[in-house]
Amino acid sequence: MWYLSLLAVSALALVQSFAFGLVLPSDEAQIRRSKRSVNAQTQQEIASVMKCNTTIVGPSDPGWANATERYMQNIRPQVQLSVRPSCEQDVARIVRYANRHNIAFYAVSRGHSLTTDAARFAGIEIDMRNLNRIRVNPNKRTAEFQGGVYGYEAINNLWDKGLVTATGTCSCVSLIGPALGGGHGLQQGKHGLTSDHIVNLNVVLADGSAIRVNEKTNPDLWWAFRGAGHNFGIVTSFESKVWPDNFKRYFVRTYQYLGNSHDAVFEAVNRFQGNGTLDPSWLASFGLYAMNTTLSTTEATLYWVFLYDGPKTDAAVAALKPFDQLHPLSIDDIDIPYTEINTPIGGALNSSLCEPNKSHIVGTANLQVYNVTAQRAIYDLYNQNIRQHPELGGTRVLVEGYAVRGVKSFKSEDSAYPLRDDNILTYFDVRFDTASDPLIPFAQKWRNQTVDLWNAGQPTRPPTTYVNYAAGYESLEGRYGVEAWRLKRLRQLKRKYDSKNRFAWYNPIVPV
Ligand SMILES: Cc1cc2nc3c(=O)[nH]c(=O)nc-3n(C[C@H](O)[C@H](O)[C@H](O)COP(=O)(O)OP(=O)(O)OC[C@H]3O[C@@H](n4cnc5c(N)ncnc54)[C@H](O)[C@@H]3O)c2cc1C
Ligand SMILES: *[C@@H]1O[C@H](CO)[C@@H](O)[C@H](O)[C@H]1NC(C)=O
Ligand SMILES: *[C@@H]1O[C@H](CO)[C@@H](O)[C@H](O)[C@H]1NC(C)=O
Ligand SMILES: *[C@@H]1O[C@H](CO)[C@@H](O)[C@H](O)[C@H]1NC(C)=O
Ligand SMILES: *[C@@H]1O[C@H](CO)[C@@H](O)[C@H](O)[C@H]1NC(C)=O
Ligand SMILES: *[C@@H]1O[C@H](CO)[C@@H](O)[C@H](O)[C@H]1NC(C)=O
Ligand SMILES: *[C@@H]1O[C@H](CO)[C@@H](O)[C@H](O)[C@H]1NC(C)=O
Ligand SMILES: *[C@@H]1O[C@H](CO)[C@@H](O)[C@H](O)[C@H]1NC(C)=O
Ligand SMILES: *[C@@H]1O[C@H](CO)[C@@H](O)[C@H](O)[C@H]1NC(C)=O
């Protein structure tokens, strides 16, 4: 079946208004990116090879702003045409068309890519949003998710059936985006990373072939996709484990502290988390510096959130006793269903953390334990910078202590995810409304200092970076593994499966 009526209309509009040769290659870099200009002819040709209800949006179409909007306003791929497949097979057709014509392509699921690499891209976007089917298998042990499914959809769809799966803690983010780089979330203490319980991937490779990737079929790619997947292909759908949840409630406690409690809280959290031995009935313990001007206009509030795998009546609340005694300014307890679990951590679909089209300066460094001296320096720097620029009060310094037992139960060498020794993720984020804000260089310096302090706080460990939080300037070893064999193996696989480096827009193993 061909459903091209929408296309025909937009193609006509394009003939009249499209700037032909939009991407006239003006330098080496651009020639590498797209060897042919993308124009109305491209649009018509792609339309003619699509086999299902795939829509194509060009720059003059009303849906263009929506199709090209990103989480990061300041790191935008240069999209020349947006193709939105409605069936998985069309993804392969787009890739083959693009290859025949030397046009670069780039899959977009939910648009939260943080790394600067995305800005180097120019070409055709493959917008995965219509590939959002979720189908629970009859045994209720696994489900199939298409490549465009995101957290909110998965959580709510499965909840109706009394099930949960591994998503991130922000409902706006896709399932597959995080999974390709590991995938951290509240299920990991019990079950491991999102990538650890995928059982099959349906993938389109750089040459446009559609293949299955699992433990038995294509085991080399199976290894690579789980940790370095963005470099190897487009996942059109995947099968992953789901678990019964029985509609239970989850206990969440939130504390607010000010600076006088800071060091003691971090010491207590180090004891609570036990350097990666926390019982997974505690799903996570997150800390955050952010301004709450009701409490103080001169120093950040230290929020600490604890999430438990069951209602308060079941929770080992005594484990939190030390935190009650460190002079919190508030203690909030709540029991919530899984559908709301991301809300108290700030990751609801309508949260400010999920809001798209803002500019962010982000930074990260992975840790094992908190170095209280380093953390204090980061806190003092935060307060000093806010005193200088109170308008940056939305800045967040987030530390994420998910339970890690499940993560450590998988062998490190069995997948490309290299960071199973790390217990804590960190995330620094200064947010601006526009990409031209004059304080951006100030924020970059602040970001650099904060990341440097985290790394200097663990002098005996080489810096490591969770690839999905990477800003793009970190070392490849930090992102893909300090053991030399890892990058060696990844580079070999890259030569075998993507010798032209078509997947080079997300923390590329072979830099562009
Ligand atoms: C607000 C926020 C919250 C986050 N929370 C978490 C969290 O809780 N846990 C966690 O682990 N990470 C988290 N992250 C990081 C997250 O893993 C990455 O930002 C991830 O890349 C986002 O995926 P996306 O689909 O939204 O973004 P996109 O920009 O659409 O995709 C990211 C990259 O993946 C590629 N890609 C997209 N779809 C596919 C596909 N189907 N097949 C192959 N490649 C594809 C894209 O080409 C792009 O390079 C968060 C990020 C943000 C901004
Ligand atoms: C094709 O997709 C468009 C846009 O998503 C939608 O409006 C239309 O109803 C779809 N048509 C069919 C036949 O599925
Ligand atoms: C994104 O923000 C910019 C700057 O504020 C604005 O010009 C643009 O219209 C916004 N885009 C969308 C899709 O809202
Ligand atoms: C884009 O459009 C879709 C539906 O058409 C809507 O759900 C979504 O919120 C829009 N996104 C933005 C960023 O406006
Ligand atoms: C944390 O545990 C790791 C082993 O997993 C060990 O190498 C490291 O020294 C420990 N750190 C501290 C501060 O105890
Ligand atoms: C700030 O603190 C006050 C007092 O504890 C509280 O009511 C309010 O919810 C806090 N605001 C935020 C954004 O956390
Ligand atoms: C988000 O939605 C919830 C209801 O689902 C509502 O209670 C909350 O106020 C909303 N938050 C924002 C910031 O709009
Ligand atoms: C931040 O660090 C990066 C990487 O070392 C560097 O390229 C950049 O110039 C630094 N920016 C500032 C403002 O210090
Ligand atoms: C903690 O960080 C400081 C630098 O802030 C460093 O000098 C010290 O060695 C670190 N302590 C440990 C135990 O790593």
pLDDT (tens digit per residue) in 243-301: 999 899 999 999 999 999 999 999 999 999 999 999 999 999 999 999 999 999 999 99
pLDDT tens-digit series, residues 122-137: 999 999 999 999 999 9
Q: What is the pLDDT of residue 6?
A: 34
348 pocket-lining for ligand 7 (C-beta < 6 Å):
yes
Which residue, 388, 399, 400, is CA-closest to 446? Answer: 388
Give the separation between CA 122 and CA 209, rounded to whole angstroms.
Answer: 22
Q: Are 347 and 354 in contact (CB under 8 A)?
A: yes
Residue with the nearest Cα to atom 10 of ligand 9?
457
Q: What is the pLDDT of residue 22?
A: 32
Q: Which residues contact 341 (CB under 8 A, 6 or more apart)?
A: 155, 169, 186, 250, 252, 307
Going from the Cα of 49 to the center of ligand 9, the distance in angstroms, rounded, reads 59
Taking residues 112-116, report their average pLDDT: 98
Percent of all residues in the chain with a pLDDT value above 70, rounded to a whole number: 93
344: helix, strand or coil = coil
pLDDT level of residue 18 (50, 70, 90 thresholds):
very low
pTM of the model: 0.94
Taking residues 405-421, report their average pLDDT: 98
Q: Tell me the pLDDT of the chain averaged across its residues.
A: 93
Going from the Cα of 459 to the center of ligand 9, the distance in angstroms, rounded, reads 7
Residue 27 pLDDT > 90: no
Q: What is the pLDDT of residue 37?
A: 74
Q: What is the pLDDT of residue 277?
A: 96
Q: What is the pLDDT of residue 77?
A: 96
Residue 398 pLDDT > 80: yes
Going from the Cα of 67 to the center of ligand 3, the distance in angstroms, rounded, reads 12
Which residue of 51, 53, 55, 128 sits with most ligand 2 atoms within 8 Å of its CB, as the best mutation to test the pocket?
53
Q: Judge residue 334's burial from the number of C-beta atoms within 10 Å of its C-beta, 0-12 exposed, 13-18 middle, 19 or more buried.
A: middle
53 pocket-lining for ligand 2 (C-beta < 6 Å):
yes
pLDDT tens-digit series, residues 195-218: 999 999 999 999 999 999 999 999
Higher pLDDT, 114 or 3: 114
Residue 508 pLDDT > 50: yes
Residue 11 pLDDT > 50: no
**Token pair for 35:** 């060897």
The alpha carbon of residue 366 and the mean position of all alpha carbons in its chain are separated, in whole angstroms, by 15
Q: Print the SS3 string covering 245-276.
A: CCCCEEEEEEEEECHHHHHHHHHHHHHHHCCC
Ligand closest in space to the Cα of 460 = 9
Q: What is the pLDDT of residue 435?
A: 96
Pocket of ligand 3 (CB under 6 A): 65, 69, 73, 357, 433-434
| Amino acid (1-letter code) at residue 202 | N
Q: What is the pLDDT of residue 29?
A: 39
Which residue of 170, 350, 353, 355 sits with most ligand 7 atoms within 8 Å of its CB, as the best mutation to test the pocket?
350
Q: Which residues contact 263 (CB under 8 A, 6 or more apart)?
A: 372, 375, 376
Q: What is the pLDDT of residue 315?
A: 82
Going from the Cα of 173 to the center of ligand 1, the distance in angstroms, rounded, reads 6
Ligand closest in space to the Cα of 357 = 3
Give the separation between CA 210 and CA 129, rounded to whole angstroms.
Answer: 19
Angle, helices 440-456/372-388, rounded to nearest 10 degrees: 170
Residue with the nearest Cα to atom 4 of ligand 8?
473
Taking residues 30-47, report their average pLDDT: 74
Q: Judge residue 468's burial from the number of C-beta atoms within 10 Å of its C-beta, 0-12 exposed, 13-18 middle, 19 or more buried.
A: buried
Which residue, 389, 349, 254, is CA-closest to 308? Answer: 254
